[in-house]
Structure 1
Amino acid sequence: MMKPKPTLSLLALLVHLLLSGCGGPPKPAETPLPGEVNPPTTPQEDLARGMRAMQQGNYESAIEAYQRAIQKDERNVEAWLHLGEAYELSGNPEEAVAQYKKVLELDPTHLEAYHALGRLYERFENYGAAAMVYGRALEQYPEKRELYYKTATAMLEAGSLHGAESVSREALERDPDDARALLLLGKALLAQGKLDGARNAFEAVVARDPLQTEAYTLLGVVFMRMGKIEDAQVNLAKALDLNPDLAAAHYNLALAIRGQRHRLPEALQHLEKAVALEPDDPDIREELARTYFEMGMYDEAANEMKRVIHDDPENPERYLFLAKIYEQMNEVGASIQALSKATQLLGRD
């Protein structure tokens, strides 16, 4: 016996149920509402987000991302390092120092952190601390030539002359032909007044690198201190032949020839060039003022000394010289005022 076929109304009802129930099209996913908690991220994902923010120059977002990574993993060295970089680039170097120190606390062999921390101490002109940082790095990496240079340079700036000499000699033990180490050794010896040793070091530099203008300039300084003025002039002139824009060479050559009165105009030209190259150097400006004075150009001398004193108002010798200039100009009141200021500063000392 055949089964009866469903009626049309029953078919319509079945179609309606299929379309409106589980057989219908899927509903779109709901968009998270503002303020909903984001799904948790791993420290590596936070690091990646921080790096992307750094590339975009969004340092505040980078700092937040690195801090989240650290909250999840306090021993994440790379997160601490990048956090320091973000603080440094955002203009907060003091906070960067703390992060780099944390890196080295977690990993005392982290070379990049040593370089970053030393660089910041140099920026703060805390050369003693910079020398200590580079010295610690050198203990970890005695094969890294650059660390010898950085350590010796920071020691020179900090006034640790024996230390700078020692580190330079260590570098030369590894490579006797290292011209940069020889240059640093010469600087350390010159600063200690060891003129023969400094001369030997600088001459060894130019023998290895005939284009080393700084070595020629410093040889000129050594020869001046030895009283060998002609040799000084030869080396300073050589430095300027190689590079006419060396303020130190112009300055020292002027000092070498200023003792010959007929060469005062030539000395003046060198000092004016040096000032143009290094306008903020008070020593060069003072020598320019003294040369003006010796040539009878008192107005120019007074103007230069006033500029020098404006930048360095605590030097009594400069007030004394200004008083002498005013005396030659018959400006008695100004001379007395400068003398009074010099006396005040000397009394304070």
Structure 2
Amino acid sequence: RMALGETLYSLGRYEDAEAEFRAAVRMRPDSARARHALGEVLMILEKYPEAESELREAARLAPDNPDILLDLGSLFHLMGKLSEAAEALGEAAQMRRDHSWTRFSLAMVLKDMGRISDALMQVEEAIRLGNDSAPVLELRKSLREMRRS
């Protein structure tokens, strides 16, 4: 079921992928991988409370998985739960110190919390790690302007 769900997900058939991932969770409720996949597709489908439940359970089952924490932090950000987002993304960043997109995601949350200096520090780290993409550079520019004013 997971393989079919992943194929459907990659094809953008999210409702069908959701059904497959739900079946996978029913078959193996203790599978962090299945719960993570279901949470991720629920997040895309904007079923945030259900996504939160699945991602929290995935994180409980696999507490050392930074990918789950990254998705959980991103979900919290979408839901406006900024302190929870910062906590999850901060943990993910500690686990995977060389992942620039985790740093970028954390910077976005810190910016929304008004923690401009902390956000700028995370963006600078993302750039140091080799991420000089347009969104990262634009965020750095914006944060520098906010810090000046």
Instruction: Give TM class, smaller chain.
Output: 0.7 to 0.9
Q: Structure 2: how far apart are the matches of 1:259 and 1:153?
A: 32
Instruction: Provide the residue aligned with 1:206 in structure 2.
Output: 59
1:173–1:281 CA distance, 2 compared to 1 (3 A): farther
- Mapping for residues 87-106 of structure 1, pairs under 5 Å: none
- Mapping for residues 68-217 of structure 1, pairs under 5 Å: 148-217=1-70
Are 1:226 and 2:95 matched, yes or no?
Answer: no
Amino acid at match of 2:70: T
SS in 2 for 1:279: coil
SS in 2 for 1:283: helix
Bigger radius of gyration: 1
Q: Which has the higher contact order (CA 8 A, sep 6+)?
A: 2
TM-score by length of 1: 0.39
Segments of structure 1 that go 5 or more residues without pairing to the other structure are 1-147, 298-349
Q: Structure 2: how far apart are the matches of 1:174 and 1:253?
A: 34
Are 1:268 and 2:93 matched, yes or no?
Answer: no
Instruction: Provide the residue aligned with 1:284 in structure 2.
Output: 136
Q: State, as a whole percentage, how many aligned pairs show the same letter.
A: 24
Q: Structure 1: how far apart are the matches of 2:87 and 2:72?
A: 10
Q: Deviations over 1:56-85 (max 9, x none)?
A: xxxxxxxxxxxxxxxxxxxxxxxxxxxxxx
Q: Structure 1: how far apart are the matches of 2:141 and 2:2?
A: 36
Amino acid at match of 1:230: S
Segments of structure 2 that go 5 or more residues without pairing to the other structure are none
Structure with greater helix percent:
2
Instruction: Provide the residue aligned with 1:97 in structure 2.
Output: none
Q: Deviations over 1:9-64 (max 9, x none)?
A: xxxxxxxxxxxxxxxxxxxxxxxxxxxxxxxxxxxxxxxxxxxxxxxxxxxxxxxx
What do you get for the CA RMSD once the two structures are aligned?
Answer: 2.2
Question: 2:8 touches 2:16 (CA, 8 Å); kept in 1?
Answer: yes
Amino acid at match of 2:147: M
Instruction: Provide the residue aligned with 1:294 in structure 2.
Output: 146
1:212–1:294 CA distance, 2 compared to 1 (3 A): same
Residue 217 of structure 1: how far off its partner (Å) = 1.4
Q: Structure 1: how far apart are the matches of 2:127 and 2:16?
A: 33
Instruction: Work out the number of aligned pairs and report it.
Output: 149
